[in-house]
A and B are shown apart, each in its own frame.
Chain A
Amino acid sequence: MKTTPSDLKQYRAQLKDALGNEFLGKTLETFTDIICQRRDTCFENMDFAALAAEVGRMKDAALPRLMELYAQFKEQAEAAGAQVHFAATAAEANRIIAGIAEQASVKKIVKSKSMTSEETFLNPHLEGEGFKVVETDLGEWIIQLRGEGPSHMIAPAIHLSRQEVAELFNRVIGGDRDPDDIAGLVQVAREQLRQEYLSADMGISGVNFAIADSGTMGLVTNEGNARLVTTLPRVHVALAGLDKLVPDLDTALKIVRILPRNGAGQIISNYVTWIRGANECATGPEGKKEIHFVFLDNGRLALAADPVFGEALRCIRCGHCANVCPIYDKVGGHNYGHVYIGAIGLILTYFYHGRENARALVKNCLNCQACKANCAASIDLPRLIKKTAGLILDQEPRRPAKNQLLAHVLKNRKLFHFILRNAYLAQKPLAKGDKVIRHLPSFFGPEHGFRSLPVVARRPLRERWPALVTAEASPRHRVALFGGCLIDFVYPEQAEALVGLVKGRGVQLDYPLAQTCCGLPAQMMCEEDTAREVARQNLGALDPAKYDYILTLCASCGSHLKENLPKLLAGDPGLAAKARQMADKVIDFSSFMNDVLGVEPTQGETGPKLAYHAPCHLCRGLDVHRAPRDLIQAAGYDYAPYADEEVCCGFGGSYSLEFPEMSAAILGHKLDQVEATGAEILVSDCPGCVLQLSGGLDQRDSPIEVLHIAEALARAGLKPAPDKS
């Protein structure tokens, strides 16, 4: 049975190997580019978010009723001549299926794709019992011949190149095939497998949904193999996770609407097959098919009852959370999942395949939110991934020293700020008078050298503030600036740019000094208590009732305050309301400038060529897309767009320290694209992204200058529209 390294070092070594495999990298990039593009086209005239939310709601409604739906399905299916079995565990499901085969004197079994059978490791079990098992989905057949598991939930062999497939066929079947004749390779499978269908006694299929009120199952496929598997052999076994139960046809049709579009980038799969009961089958007993349903629990009922993790059971296995993930894009499913792949795989591995297999894997998430924004069932995947990591951490014999330290320091603002101020002195010798540290001290290890690090500012923003801001005579907007650690202690000049931009435009800016870290770093390290404690401190420092807006220059702070704060303090009477008020008033810099104040476009010549990096926490966290681009153009820059503007830069806070090789690879992808635009300036609206991007460009000796968007606008002399009131 498969194991995924539980040790982070070992897992990182595996990732490093994958990153070094150029073939794999190219194959994956082609795949994700094509599939994402096709998928986006499918939703051009549809409200994806609304549809996904509806699927989520429909699935949610079924979760507390799974056993009731099971009973209903069983009754209906049996009335139509099927047999229905319940398997509490994976082993039991395998035993039941082997038992059915034994009883029916089966020798050969053909299978169409079923992730649930991968979950239970059904094939090795059946083979151990002496049955011949043949996978018939082309991709599944290829990996079966190679003796490996799927690397993607809907495209199981997508990690392989045509050359590898051709070589495999030559080796197993004989002959000498042209790898570029892909139709020829497909033809091999068609011919070989036709004979298998015709001679098999039993077909095993998965189930995309099981409709309780009629006992009907649905299969959504492209190749047509599932139709043959469910038709030709005299016995059919359908294996389904209990979570595949839906109450009615309405829900099933909703799934058919979103699944092929989101998963395969097709408006419909070639075949959607609806099967109820024992249909005609010339070779079956009394001319009827012997049909069995095996419903697998394997922890699903417990999961369904969990107030946090139940959400994971909404998943309809479209596989798209992998396609959009920058980590999957670089290393593929064999290195980004155990059996289940991608974001959902990180979560399910823990629940279905155990802590050891999930331990290192679950840390491999940037929290970039791409999966969440694209999930067909609207699952908050990054949140569940972090929660899963937290569960695993709680079960470790002791918390890592860095967690203990972080928790201790963050809770004590004065100590924290004391350390940050003094970091300046500690760093001085490393920077050698420069603004960045190019050569990190040796305990960091060479893998961290992909980016230079900025030096902590000599005087933090909080010290500069009193001299910076003057009172506005008749303020239009009362605004509190939430700085965040990076702005306050590393990049105060970004806040100075803001102050200059809004001066004289009726914005009364405050910087409440008792504010501290937003708490996101603690949450990312699974220290929720610490995140909660600093959230309380920030609410004490900054009373949302006093302000019209709480402005952030850091998209990560902004989205944390907006989305996570209300969740963290939901159980805290009084503070829960304050947290929601705070969330309501949080606004990012670009939206404030562009949408609240409005700007006067600069006149004159076009400025230098400029590229933009969209922070994950801005474009997905806060759903802001247009404002920064409008501002760049209003400021007269020669805006140079590129394809992956909204793809993560690979920072992810502590992620870049834990997985430096991954972070470097994802950053490299971004910087290649930026350099290809020929831009002189790269801007973003998050100091964390600025840190990562400028550090990476510095190591490349690139002349591209990285600025916070506020700095770029200030430099271009952009002004907010004058007060018209």
Chain B
Amino acid sequence: MTQPALIEEFTERAEGLSASVAPAPDLAAAVEYAVKLTLEMGGTTLAAPGWEGDDLAAIEAACASAGLELFSSDLRAVADNIFCGFTQADWGIAETGTLVIDSRSEDLRLATMLAEVHVAVLLRGNLRPNQEALHDEMDALFKKGPAYLAFISGPSRTGDIEMVLTLGAHGPRQVHVMLLEDAS
């Protein structure tokens, strides 16, 4: 499958699961998106575990200028105060609109589970047609040390009351995927 075809299928599927997908030319654009979204929704905090160096600096700067409180580690201490989770995704699965996130880091898990909104950055080159195409990467992960791998497809949902689809049962109410150009 060509990359445009992968992007098209991923987008269609993810949107079908109530996620939003938007292109981002570079990380700065993705950060700006997350910050703006948080402000629009009345959030005051952003949790961004797993970022380092220049990337983290860019996030810090953006949060500071927007007046958002940034948490980049030790998220348990602020567990009930995470509005936006801003994380990377390791892979995307086009067939099902799924984000695949190596979540060994507890902070990463907490940011993607406890946030009201999850914004994930995914490199276009890491899109795969289906879950089977990730077999080898997954198998390798599961065969060395502890692992916590998450497939996330759209926001948390439930149909437990009369099959009426309701978003935000326990996890994020919204999931936004920023498709990043590979070069950046």
Contacts and interface: CB of A to CB of B under 8 A. Distances in A.
A binds B: yes
Interface of A: 27, 30-31, 34-35, 80-81, 136-139, 142, 155-158, 160-162, 165, 182-183, 185-187, 189-190, 193-194, 198, 211, 214-216, 222-225, 227-228, 231-232, 249-250, 253, 256-257, 264, 267-283, 288
A223 B158 contact: yes
Contact of A231 (B106, B132, B138): B106
Contact of B162 (A182, A223, A256): A182
Interface in B66-116: 74, 76, 79-80, 95-98, 104-106, 109-110, 113-114
24 contacts: A30-B163, A34-B163, A138-B161, A138-B169, A142-B160, A155-B160, A161-B162, A186-B166, A190-B170, A211-B142, A223-B160, A223-B169, A224-B169, A224-B171, A224-B172, A227-B109, A231-B106, A256-B131, A268-B153, A270-B155, A272-B151, A274-B138, A275-B148, A278-B146
Given A224-B169, A267-B95, A271-B151, A156 B160 contact: yes
B132 A253 contact: yes
Contact of A274 (B13, B105, B114, B149): B149
A271 B152 contact: yes
Given A222-B156, A227-B150, A228-B113, A136 B142 contact: no
A157 to B, nearest CB: 6
B171 A223 contact: yes
B147 A182 contact: no
B25 interface: no
B163 A155 contact: yes
Given A31-B162, A270-B156, 10 more contacts: A80-B146, A158-B163, A160-B161, A189-B169, A214-B142, A227-B109, A227-B171, A270-B153, A277-B145, A278-B146
A76 to B, nearest CB: 8
Contacts of B113: 224, 227-228, 231
Contacts of B159: 155, 222, 264
B170 A183 contact: no
Nearest to B113: A227
B157 interface: yes
Can you list the 7 inter-chain pairs with the closest CB atoms, starting with the nearest?
A: A224-B171, A277-B146, A139-B160, A272-B151, A224-B156, A223-B169, A214-B142
Contacts of B171: 223-224, 227-228, 270-271
Given A162-B162, A267-B13, A270-B153, A216 B168 contact: no
Contacts of A272: 98, 150-151
A573 B53 CA distance: 78
A269 B135 contact: no
Contacts of B161: 138, 142, 157, 160, 162, 165, 182, 185-186
Contacts of B152: 270-271
B139 interface: yes
Given A138-B161, A249-B142, A282-B76, A276 B147 contact: yes
Given A189-B169, A198-B79, A223-B158, A273 B163 contact: no
A269 B143 CA distance: 25
Interface-centre pick from A80, A186, A194, A267 (highest chain B CB count, 10 A): A186
Nearest to B155: A270
Interface-centre pick from B17, B109, B162, B163 (highest chain A CB count, 10 A): B162
A267 B76 contact: no
B154 interface: yes
A257 B93 CA distance: 13
Contacts of A281: 106
Contacts of B183: none
Nearest to B97: A268
Contacts of B131: 253, 256-257
B168 A273 contact: no
Contacts of B166: 182-183, 186
A389 B164 CA distance: 37
Nearest to A183: B166
Nearest to B145: A80
B169 A222 contact: yes
A138 B96 contact: no
- For chain B, give the interface size range: 35 or more
Interface of B: 13, 17, 74, 76, 79-80, 95-98, 104-106, 109-110, 113-114, 131-132, 135, 138-139, 142-143, 145-164, 166, 168-172
A264 B168 CA distance: 17
Nearest to A194: B80
A364 to B, nearest CB: 24
Contacts, number: 173
A278 B105 CA distance: 12
Contact of B109 (A165, A222, A231, A269): A231
Contacts of B168: 186-187, 190
Main secondary structure of the interface of A (DSSP, over half): mixed
Contacts of B79: 198, 232
A73 to B, nearest CB: 12
B9 to A, nearest CB: 11
Contacts of B17: 268, 270
A137 B96 contact: no
A218 to B, nearest CB: 9
Nearest to A80: B146
Contacts of A182: 161-162, 164, 166
Given A222-B169, A278-B146, A138 B160 contact: yes
Contacts of B138: 249, 274
B153 A269 contact: yes
Given A81-B146, A138-B160, A139-B160, A253 B135 contact: yes
A268 B96 contact: yes
B79 to A, nearest CB: 6
Nearest to A139: B160
Contacts of A223: 156-158, 160, 169-171
A220 to B, nearest CB: 9
A279 B109 CA distance: 11
Contacts of B96: 267-268
A269 to B, nearest CB: 7
B95 A279 contact: no
A129 B121 CA distance: 46
Nearest to B148: A279
Nearest to A215: B142
Contacts of A185: 161
A232 B80 CA distance: 12
A406 B136 CA distance: 59
Contact of B158 (A27, A80, A186, A276): A186
B184 to A, nearest CB: 28
A32 B150 CA distance: 30
A285 to B, nearest CB: 14
A271 B101 CA distance: 11
Contact of B148 (A30, A157, A224, A273): A273
B162 A30 contact: yes
A194 B172 CA distance: 12
Contacts of A193: 170
Nearest to A282: B76
Nearest to A287: B106
A276 B146 contact: yes
A249 B142 CA distance: 9
Given A186-B169, A222-B157, A274-B138, A27 B145 contact: no
A250 B136 CA distance: 10
B71 to A, nearest CB: 14
A249 B135 contact: yes
Nearest to A211: B142
Contacts of A194: 80, 170
A31 B152 CA distance: 25
A222 B148 contact: no
A112 to B, nearest CB: 10
Contacts of B76: 282-283
B98 A268 contact: yes
Interface-centre pick from B114, B161, B172 (highest chain A CB count, 10 A): B161
Nearest to B144: A80
Contacts of A216: 142, 147
